[in-house]
Amino acid sequence: MRSYSLTRRLVVAVLLVQLASAAAITGLAVAYERHTHFRSFDIMLRGRADSLLGAVQDAEDTADNVMLDGTEVSLPAEDIYEVVDENKRLLGRSRNWTGLDPSHVSLKDGSFFKLRVSGKHYRVLKIGGLRMVDPGDKGGGIPRRVTVIYGSPTATVWTAVWKTVAFYALTSLGLLAISGLLMFWFLNRGLAPLRELAAQAARVSVHSWDFVPSERALKTKELAPLAGALETVLQGLEHSFRQQRQFVSDAAHELKTSVAVVKSSLQLLSMKRRTAHEYEAGLERSYADCERMEQIVARMLTLARVESQLEPNADLYATDITHSVRLVVNQFETMANVKGLQIVMSSPAEVVVKVAPEELRLLCSNLILNAMQHSPSGSQVRVAVRKNGATAELCVEDHGTGIPPEALPHVFDRFYRGDPSRSRETGGTGLGLAICKAIVSRFDGDIQIASVVNAGTTVTVHFPMETVEETMSLQRSHF
């Protein structure tokens, strides 16, 4: 995949926006300058046309005509004009013009129009006025209507317009170049904390988990959450890798110990000839050790399955914890009778939690079996289900040997046993409570353990409880 520069993209994007803005401003400037200059140009045309109209005088002839006195006006040589009276009699015309088209003559007074004369573009104005003939002799004089058509080339106007627009355009381009360089510099400085953060994260590996965000990254409001998230994720990954390594190490140790025990038992049998009873006892010990290895492997697979599953959608489950506990208690009833234990259960009629049914039964099985393994004959294992606000509470209590205070923080660690010498006696693998912890964490619950040496242990589990509305909604979705 081809890489790209975020800084360059931001600079180009901003410059394109600015360029579009500059183009729009330049277009508006063209319209404004054209309007302003042509407005001034029209005023100039009207002034010159009025001057030309003022130069029309009495011809002092018998027909009471008017004439254009050329000595009265001084007009630019490139301008064009034509003066006619009400009888369409030509009073005067510029030398560089041959006259108007009849359609232009019929235009209203005060009209502007365009002409092209000798390759030049002209803006032309038509105005009309009255001139008095013989005002002194005939009692106020005779009015004569005069029409003046006057034009001037527009090249000078457009030159002024384009000069102004060119100034705006060049200034905008210059400002764009300067702003582009400034943005590039500021963005480079502004993104420096991000590059530092990326460099810090790039140094993290499975052999080195040190991640210390720079002071600038932590002080940057936009980067502080990212730095915190990276730190949290890396700490979680480090803990996971350590836990995984510890799990592999402990599993290897457990299996190696069990294999060594089986091997030693078989070697002991093969060292000399034994009686049939001795061979039978040795094979029974080896069989028991093989069963224990099988149990360890099964628990390891169970723990791996629970931890490898994706986060469940708890809203899809509605399991009656009372029913699950009762099934497990019935399952262990025979075992309890053999060990001389009594399982006492107390619970409401129905407590629905957002937990998968098979994993809830696995949790109950591990907790009750763990309590039975550490309870003396003749004692009770109490299992209680209670409602506690919006949560359901499962409590498993035994009256066994208890757990020392220094061991309590580690009881949920894999393969941890407070008294390893009793593992063969109780059949424990050190994975039961780790599996319980994994199940509880998957379904947003919590598990706590309290114990007093030689008095007993109480394990308490809390799960979010399903409401009546959620249960009915889930039931409707299944139909």
Q: Could you read off the pLDDT of 226-259 as tens digits, one per residue?
A: 888 888 888 878 777 777 776 677 667 667 777 8
* Cβ proximity of 423 and 443 under 8 Å: no
Clarify whether residues 123 and 270 are in a common domain: no
Between 184 and 261, the higher pLDDT residue: 184
- For 471, the token pair is 């249960």
Q: Provide the domain limits for residue 404.
A: 312-477
The reported pLDDT for the residue numbered 44 is 93
CATH number of the domain enclosing 335: 3.30.565.10
- For 44, the token pair is 């100039």
DSSP annotation string for 31-72: HHHHHHHHHHHHHHHHHHHHHHHHTEEE--STT--EEE-GGG
Q: Which of 308, 335, 370 is the last residue of a domain?
A: 308
Round to whole Å and give the CA distance between 60 and 474.
113
314: CB partners within 8 A, 6+ apart: 354, 355, 443, 444, 464
Q: For the chain, what is the mean pLDDT?
A: 82
Round to whole Å and give the CA distance between 364 and 321.
9
DSSP annotation string for 323-377: HHHHHHHHHTHHHHHHHT-EEEEE--S--EESS-HHHHHHHHHHHHHHHHHTS-T
Q: Which residues of 147-165 are buried (b: 16+ CB within 10 A; e: fewer)?
A: bbbbbbbbeebeebbeebb
At residue 457, what is the residue type? T
Q: Which of 129, 161, 193 is the last residue of a domain?
A: 161
Number of domains present in the structure of the chain: 3
What is the C-alpha radius of gyration for the chain, rounded to an integer number of angstroms? Answer: 52
Clarify whether residues 69 and 44 are in a common domain: yes
The reported pLDDT for the residue numbered 310 is 54
Closest C-alpha among 368, 373, 379 to residue 424: 373
The reported pLDDT for the residue numbered 417 is 59
Q: Which H or E element spans position 457?
A: strand 456-464
Between 429 and 424, the higher pLDDT residue: 429
- For 48, the token pair is 């010159």
Residue at 407 is within a domain: yes
29: CB partners within 8 A, 6+ apart: 164, 165, 168
Between 16 and 294, the higher pLDDT residue: 16
Clarify whether residues 256 and 334 are in a common domain: no
Question: Within 10 A of 201 (CB to CB), how many other CB atoms are there?
Answer: 16
Clarify whether residues 279 and 407 are in a common domain: no
The reported pLDDT for the residue numbered 304 is 73
* Cβ proximity of 390 and 465 under 8 Å: yes
The reported pLDDT for the residue numbered 421 is 45
- Which range has the worst mean pLDDT, 21-35, 231-245, 444-458? 231-245
The yes-or-no verdict on residue 472 having pLDDT over 50 is no
Question: For residues 98, 104, 108 and 110, what is the CA-based torsion angle, rounded to 10 degrees?
Answer: -50
Clarify whether residues 147 and 258 are in a common domain: no
The yes-or-no verdict on residue 419 having pLDDT over 70 is no
Q: How confident is the model at residue 218 (pLDDT cuts 50, 70, 90)?
A: confident
The yes-or-no verdict on residue 359 having pLDDT over 80 is yes
Residue at 18 is within a domain: no
Q: In 3-state terms, what secondary structure has residue 399?
A: coil
The yes-or-no verdict on residue 17 having pLDDT over 50 is yes
The reported pLDDT for the residue numbered 467 is 61
Q: Which of 161, 195, 215 is the last residue of a domain?
A: 161
Clarify whether residues 300 and 316 are in a common domain: no
Q: How confident is the model at residue 45 (pLDDT cuts 50, 70, 90)?
A: very high
CATH number of the domain enclosing 89: 3.30.450
